[in-house]
A and B are shown apart, each in its own frame.
Chain A
Amino acid sequence: MSVLSLQGITKSYGGNAILKGVSLEAEAGEFIALVGPSGCGKSTLLRIVAGLDHGDAGEIVIGGKSVARMAAADRNVAMVFQSYALYPHLTAGQNIAVPLAMRRLSAAQRLPVVGNLLPGQKQLRSEIQRQVKEMALALKIDHLLDRKPGQMSGGQRQRVALARAMVRRPAVFLMDEPLSNLDANLRVHARGEIVDLHRRAGVPTLYVTHDQSEALSMADRVAVMIGGNLLQLAAPKEIYDNPSHIEVARFLGQPKINVLETRTDAAGIVRFGDLLLLADRGRAPDAPVQLTIRPEFVRFHPASTGRLTGRVERMEFLGSEVIVHARLDAIGDVVTAKSAPSEAAALSLGQPVDVEIMPDRAMLFDQQGARLQAEPVAIAASLEKIHG
């Protein structure tokens, strides 16, 4: 059962299309990371789901109820902001209590002096206090409840913001780069914590980040957004190994995936060095294609006798691995390989190398970036297939 469903959300600002029809379904308890380069529309999408922005077209359904025309306050969503957006004049405890007080107490009951005299507010307030305390204990911030945001560290503020969002058990949890203001060490630690909290609360979560390692390591499914389109939504391993679009392949992975421009021959076969790939079951003869291979599936061997040769141009030593860049002799493109230091020891700058590409890891995309099926073929087999 989908708890959150977005259908064809569009949004443009002054003729600039920010979202070009985004659809997405989240299952109960699912953690979905929205990832993409800055300006891809992921934060706008999140704000539209929250009700802070309104889409030009499209439908939003939360828990079976259409909410596209509702105000943020009525949607039963909670959000953690990049800057945490804690109210600086309230203590941590008061901050966490705000969403409860806003919903449970009437406008009159919330008035400073008069409110305290109204019937029923006392029980409500103590109930709110109890829940705040409980939430704070769960997040281990109960000792901070009397402090104001200005007296807390970044990590503590982040927890208070999480507590404020989680305290009223929302139908959907929205997070807008909640870790980007933490320093690197804390960030990795906080990733694990958020995932734990999510598991325990079981509330479906949309998590916006520009950091692909955050997305891949935390999410059940990753949605890659580029240029206002949701290009692919899949489990982390799937989206990394099996991207459906070249932009997804390019966006994920560090160092970046190698992209080589080439063509299929009359038989629909790509010949690249030793590599022989049948593109799209032979249905794309004599067409330009893009051949991609992740750096971890490229090897450079000292020598220059093979079919695909190049010269080492740059080497980056990263401790556990070495990134080697070599320029191909034939077409002048640079190919990057991720090598073990022991392998890279045999290489030096300017050295001629043979380039080995793992055939079953190479992928093909057409000119528009759509994925083409690629089957490694032996020459004989392919000839047989074609002339057979």
Chain B
Amino acid sequence: MTPNAPSVARIARLTVLSLGALIFLAPYIFMVSTAGKAQSEIFSSSLSLIPQQWSYIENFSKALSRVSMGTLLFNGVIVCALIFVIQIVVAIPCAYAMAKLKFRAARTMMVLVMLGLLVPIHATALPIYVAFDRLSVLNSYAALVAPFSISVFAIFLFLQFFRAMPDELIHAARLDGMSEAGIVARVIVPNAWPAITAFAIFSVVAHWNDLFWPLIVVTNQDYATPPLGLLYFRAAEAGDDYGALMAATLIITLPLVTAFLLAQKRFVEGITMTGLKG
């Protein structure tokens, strides 16, 4: 433990971390760089990051013209927002009832929730797809949203959170003459914001990125979500016009990455909280 030791260790630490960071950032750096290069320059396979001839406008206009990026992003926002709102509206009252009210089904519910946590959409997709096909609701927002209207994970997360809330709070509200629905709306929800934001981040990240289910129920471009749209775009481009492709990925990645960079502390907290509870 000489006084010099910590600074040497620190330099080593920072070097390793910085090198790692560079590797982790490399895909983003090349994405931004390649989105501005002309086709010929990309095929010259040089490692130079700054385009010799700026082709951003050309590549971006190609990306925007082949696939309607506006529709994709709009669909993404609508689907994620609908899923999140419905999940919250369904899960919070249920979690409240399970955590703070006495009723006989609570134990059975708990078993169902724990079982539900085990079953991902990939396992239930087939029967739901068959049913949606029979009901002719494929290619609709309803088809994209419905299977996710129930989130057992949300129930589980809020259940944990509500159990930690003091009973006195609810008793006081009852003495003040509030109905149970009033308690949920005016006492529970305002106090559950940390859990709600955490879940919001978890839910939006999961469904914004989901490819599996949209791929199954949507064949019509009008309802395509961002990942699905990018898949269409790739198919149309035959995967060789990397300039335009990178421009398109840039446009599609940007919203969530921006949101993350603006609220990165909340993101990390949210993922940690939902991660550890899950």
Contact between A and B in the complex (any CB pair below 8 Å): yes
Residues of A that sit less than 8 Å from B by CB: 69-71
Q: Enumerate chain A residues within 8 angstroms of B2, measured Cβ to Cβ.
A: 69
Whether B1 is near chain A, meaning CB under 8 Å from some CB there, is: yes
User: Would you list 4 pairs from A and B whose C-beta atoms are within 8 A, ordered by A residue?
Assistant: A69-B1, A69-B2, A70-B1, A71-B1
Q: From residue A54, how far is it (CB to closest CB) to chain B in Å? A: 8
Chain B's interface: helix, strand, loop or mixed, by majority? loop
Complex alpha-carbon distance, A69 and B5, angstroms: 13
Complex alpha-carbon distance, A202 and B1, angstroms: 30
Top 4 A-B residue pairs of the complex, sorted by shortest distance between their CB atoms: A71-B1, A70-B1, A69-B1, A69-B2
Interface string of B1-30 (1 = CB under 8 A from A): 110000000000000000000000000000
Q: From residue B205, how far is it (CB to closest CB) to chain A in Å? A: 34
Complex alpha-carbon distance, A70 and B2, angstroms: 9
Among residues of B, the one whose C-beta sits closest to the C-beta of A70 is: B1
Q: Enumerate chain B residues within 8 angstroms of A71, measured Cβ to Cβ.
A: 1
Q: Enumerate chain B residues within 8 angstroms of A69, measured Cβ to Cβ.
A: 1-2
Complex alpha-carbon distance, A70 and B3, angstroms: 11
Complex alpha-carbon distance, A71 and B1, angstroms: 6
Complex alpha-carbon distance, A70 and B1, angstroms: 7
Complex alpha-carbon distance, A69 and B1, angstroms: 7
Complex alpha-carbon distance, A367 and B1, angstroms: 45
Q: Enumerate chain B residues within 8 angstroms of A70, measured Cβ to Cβ.
A: 1
Among residues of B, the one whose C-beta sits closest to the C-beta of A51 is: B1
Complex alpha-carbon distance, A71 and B3, angstroms: 11
Q: From residue A66, how far is it (CB to closest CB) to chain B in Å? A: 14
Q: From residue A127, how far is it (CB to closest CB) to chain B in Å? A: 29
Q: From residue B5, how far is it (CB to closest CB) to chain A in Å? A: 10
Among residues of B, the one whose C-beta sits closest to the C-beta of A72 is: B1
Complex alpha-carbon distance, A237 and B95, angstroms: 61
Q: Enumerate chain A residues within 8 angstroms of B1, measured Cβ to Cβ.
A: 69-71
Q: From residue A74, how far is it (CB to closest CB) to chain B in Å? A: 9
Complex alpha-carbon distance, A71 and B5, angstroms: 12
Q: From residue B218, how far is it (CB to closest CB) to chain A in Å? A: 50
Complex alpha-carbon distance, A179 and B1, angstroms: 32
Among residues of B, the one whose C-beta sits closest to the C-beta of A73 is: B1
Q: From residue A72, how far is it (CB to closest CB) to chain B in Å? A: 9
Among residues of B, the one whose C-beta sits closest to the C-beta of A74 is: B1
Among residues of A, the one whose C-beta sits closest to the C-beta of B2 is: A69
Q: From residue A293, how far is it (CB to closest CB) to chain B in Å? A: 47
Among residues of B, the one whose C-beta sits closest to the C-beta of A71 is: B1
Among residues of A, the one whose C-beta sits closest to the C-beta of B1 is: A71
Q: From residue B212, how far is it (CB to closest CB) to chain A in Å? A: 40
Complex alpha-carbon distance, A265 and B192, angstroms: 68
